Structure 1
């Protein structure tokens, strides 16, 4: 994990976005495209589940214009965007990479204890 500022730790980055965890506010900050959004951990996990429910297969094979974009919202966090198939795949990658990083960090804290990260 790369430290951006003393209280922000980078969790994951891809071509379209980046996420950080703030030790002070215990929030996850996500910059996706030009949008910066702050999530409580519970809201982040809920948002990730919502994005993972988008039927990518249907978007690929349905020729209707209705399936060219998908509206992704997290109103409690101020995130609302109409995304293309490629953007949804990139957002999923960002969210899944972030979740993996959180899981690994949590496991390391359990095994090594908090003193190992001081």
Structure 2
């Protein structure tokens, strides 16, 4: 990721696919998402709300509805200046990216909890 976000941010890659990447910034306690040629910042809670909104998109309806307007969906993440005009493949790519990032975030939390637990056992 280029430092076009902020030269002072300290980001670590959470998850990456061919179509995008999610980074965590411990300095600002937020997530950065690179997708569709742009970078979007999310607070932790807004990141998970955004994931939920992407998960709630009815892809089957997009595929079966014959109206031209059904070919795309517009998603405007809360507290960002960004909006996404997504085709079905974009929705699927974004879901893949967000699912992978959520899994890695949860896995990291479990590993940290296990390490804390083993440190308490060693000290006792």
5+ residue gaps, structure 1, are none
Q: Distance in 1 between matches of 2:91 and 2:81?
A: 18
Alignment deviations for residues 48-83 of structure 1 (CA, whole Å, 9 cap, x no partner): 001111001101111211210000111412220111
Describe the shift of the 1:6–1:39 C-alpha distance in structure 2 as closer, same or farther (beyond 3 A).
Answer: closer
3-state SS of 2:50 partner: helix
Q: Secondary structure at the match of 1:74?
A: coil
- SS of residue in 2 equivalent to 1:50: helix
TM-score by length of 2: 0.83
Q: 2:89 aligns with which of 70, 86, 89?
A: 86
CA RMSD across the alignment: 2.0
What is the distance in 2 between the residues matched to 1:75 and 1:24?
21
Question: How far apart in 1 are the matches of 2:49 and 2:64?
Answer: 27
How many residues in Structure 1 have an aligned counterpart in Structure 2?
A: 111
Structure-1 residue corresponding to 2:4: none
1:21 aligns with 2:16: no
Based on CA coordinates, which of the two structures has the bigger radius of gyration?
2
5+ residue gaps, structure 2, are: 1-7, 120-124
Distance 2:56 2:24 in 1: 24
